């Protein structure tokens, strides 16, 4: 074996996992998984049904979730134990590669020893398969070396590799923010429990979340995607596009109509509403609908939409 992909899955089902595994076929020789599910794993059937599972190239570590570094370090230990090769494909369960990844993987042996990392870029799709917020540089592969270790509970960092980074003009898909808003809010609650400073929605409000105010700072930054989704993702994209057709149509409308003068974050939006409720009704009598927003802009320093989304988005 030359290359192994490392993946973390938890208790909730990962709808893009099958597509990810298919996109890695022909690019990596094995898949190493930390499955930290509580009870029976919802993702195990998908893992076992993949080409890696059918061909005994799937290695799964079952251990309780502590934090993201611990989960990734379990993968590193299992990688060394099974002799999974000299390179690691760094992926999340909500990413899907394009066919170019196979050509990159075939040439990793030719990478000079002075390089320990191969970076690429990801489209960050947002609330729709037709919208994205950014294309961001991301580590795609790193060289496996004994002693390498992940540190940090969230937004973990890989330590123990001192080589240079090779950056390739290759873009693949990240679908983590396409699914309904509650999934994002639940992820933020997990990050907060691990010590990250993020905006948290109270548990009692999760069932009634509205994506319009929740992503109020992000809608103006959404861009229309006119490219093609990775071949391996097209089946699940079609299925989820149909399942969430109403939500995605609304997302397209919000992206077209939201003003850049929106509040800086969901938390600011909630604070603004509370302030408005405390004031006498006469304070707003005869005012235009834009008055609260104009006052908000005067009293709050607005972060850019990109900065706001990074704080909302949390980990990848």
Residue 295: CB partners within 8 Å, gap ≥ 6?
none
Section 86-95 average pLDDT: 98
Distances (CA, A) of 136 to 72, 139, 140, 192, 218: 22, 10, 12, 23, 16
DSSP the chain: --EEEEEEE-SS--TTHHHHHHHHBTTBSEEEEEE--SSS-SSHHHHHHSHHHHTT-EEEEE-----HHHHHHHHHHHHHHHT--SEEEE--TTEE--THHHHHHHTGGGS-TTEEEEEEEEEEEESSTTEEEEEEEEEEEEE--TT-EEE-SSS-EEES---EEEEEEEEEEEEEETS-HHHHHHHHHHHHHTT-------GGGGGG--HHHHTTTTGGG-EE--S---GGGHHHHHHHHHHTHHHHHHHHHHHHH--TTS-SSHHHHHHHHHHHHHS-GGGGTT--TTHHHHHHHHHSPPPPHHHHHHHHH---
| Inter-CA distances, 134 with 131, 222, 232, 310, Å | 10, 8, 21, 10
Burial of 59 (0-12, 13-18, 19+ CB in 10 A): middle
Looking at CATH, the fold of the domain delimited by 3-177 is given as Spore Coat Polysaccharide Biosynthesis Protein SpsA; Chain A (3.90.550)
Backbone angles phi, psi at 11, to 5 degrees: -75, -30
**Beta pairing, strands 58-62 & 30-35:** parallel
Q: Which of 69-73, 74-78, 87-91, 294-298 has the lowest mean pLDDT?
A: 294-298
Each residue's pLDDT tens digit, 43-79: 999 999 999 999 999 999 999 999 999 999 999 999 9
Query: From CA 3, how far away is CA 265, in angstroms rounded?
Result: 41
**pLDDT, tens digit (0-9, with 9 covering 90-100), for 202-234:** 999 999 999 999 999 899 999 999 999 999 999
Output the average pLDDT for the chain: 86
| 56, two tokens | 């005994």
User: What is the token pair recorded at 58?
Assistant: 């799937």
The model's pTM: 0.83
Backbone angles phi, psi at 132, to 5 degrees: -145, 160
CATH 3.90.550.10 intervals, the chain:
3-177
The answer to whether residues 29 and 85 touch, using CB atoms and an 8 Å cutoff, is yes
Between 289 and 30, residue with greater pLDDT = 30
* Predicted pLDDT of residue 8: 98
């Amino acid at each position: 074996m030359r290359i192994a992909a490392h993946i973390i899955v938890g208790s909730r089902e990962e709808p893009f996992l099958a597509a990810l595994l298919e996109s890695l076929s022909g690019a990596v020789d094995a898949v190493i998984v930390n499955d930290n599910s509580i009870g029976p794993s919802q993702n195990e059937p998908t893992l076992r049904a993949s080409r890696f599972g059918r061909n005994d190239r799937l290695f799964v570590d079952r251990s309780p979730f502590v934090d993201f570094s611990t989960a990734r370090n379990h993968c590193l230990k299992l990688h060394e134990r099974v002799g999974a090769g000299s390179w690691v494909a760094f992926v999340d369960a909500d990413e899907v590669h394009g066919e170019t990844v196979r050509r990159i993987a075939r040439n990793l042996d030719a990478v000079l020893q002075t390089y320990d990392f191969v970076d690429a870029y990801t489209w960050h799709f947002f609330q729709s398969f037709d919208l994205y917020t950014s294309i961001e540089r991301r580590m795609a592969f790193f060289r496996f070396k004994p002693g390498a270790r992940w540190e940090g509970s969230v937004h973990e960092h890989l330590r123990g590799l001192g080589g240079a980074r090779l950056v390739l003009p290759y873009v693949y898909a990240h679908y983590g923010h396409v699914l309904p808003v509650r999934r994002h809010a639940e992820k933020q609650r997990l990050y907060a429990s691990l010590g990250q400073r993020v905006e948290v929605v109270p548990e009692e409000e999760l069932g009634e979340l509205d994506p319009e105010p929740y992503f109020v700072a992000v809608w103006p930054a959404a861009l229309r995607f006119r490219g093609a989704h990775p071949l391996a993702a097209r089946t699940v994209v079609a299925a989820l596009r149909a399942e969430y057709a109403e939500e995605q149509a609304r997302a397209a409308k919000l992206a077209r109509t939201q003003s850049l003068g929106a509040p800086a974050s969901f938390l600011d939006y909630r604070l603004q509403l509370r302030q408005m409720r405390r004031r006498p009704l006469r304070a707003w009598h005869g005012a235009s609908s834009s008055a609260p927003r104009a006052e908000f802009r005067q009293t709050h320093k607005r972060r850019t939409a990109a900065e706001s989304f990074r704080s909302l988005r949390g980990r990848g």
